[in-house]
Amino acid sequence: MAGKKKDPSTQEPSEATTKLSRLLETEIELEAMLKGTRQEAKELIEAAQVAADDRVEQFESQLEREHVTLRERVARERDDTIASIQEQCLQETTRLDELDDAKITELADYVIDLLVGRPDSRGPR
């Protein structure tokens, strides 16, 4: 038996070779898992970006609608205020136009008395 050599292809793998093979297999599996996880993370980020872009677009649309509504409300309030002032002006003009000359003279005299400071002024009657 001396001098008999074993054929390396028929030898059972050593413990170190078996551990190394398992380590390589584990590394390959981990690399595949990492690749899958990276792809999943990329897809999640893309989906989140799309969702964020949609939310921004919805917010901008809502903001524009509210801006239009506000402009319309302000324009209505402005027009209502102008109409109210014009109506008041018309009423005051009509009221002043209805004053007769005697009343206007009486009021003018009263104002002059007030400005000059005449103590006997009794005001318009």
pLDDT tens-digit profile of 22-57?
A: 999 999 999 999 999 999 999 999 999 999 999 999
Q: What is the pLDDT of residue 121?
A: 63
| pLDDT tens digits, 66-98 | 999 999 999 999 999 999 999 999 999 999 889
Q: Is the pTM higher than 0.85?
A: no
31 in a structural domain: yes
76 in a structural domain: yes
Q: What is the pLDDT of residue 26?
A: 95
> 121 near 110, Cβ under 8 Å?
yes
Q: For residue 1, give the H/E element and its range.
A: none
What is the residue whose two structure tokens read 């898992």? 33
6 in a structural domain: no
- Residue 43 CA neighbour count, 13 Å, CB half: 6
Q: How far is CA 63 from the centre of its chain?
A: 6
121 in a structural domain: no
DSSP assignment string, 65-86 = HHHHHHHHHHHHHHHHHHHHHH
Q: What is the pLDDT of residue 119?
A: 66
Provide the residue range defining the domain that includes 79.
17-116
For 26, the 3-state DSSP assignment is: helix
71 in a structural domain: yes
Domain count, the chain: 1
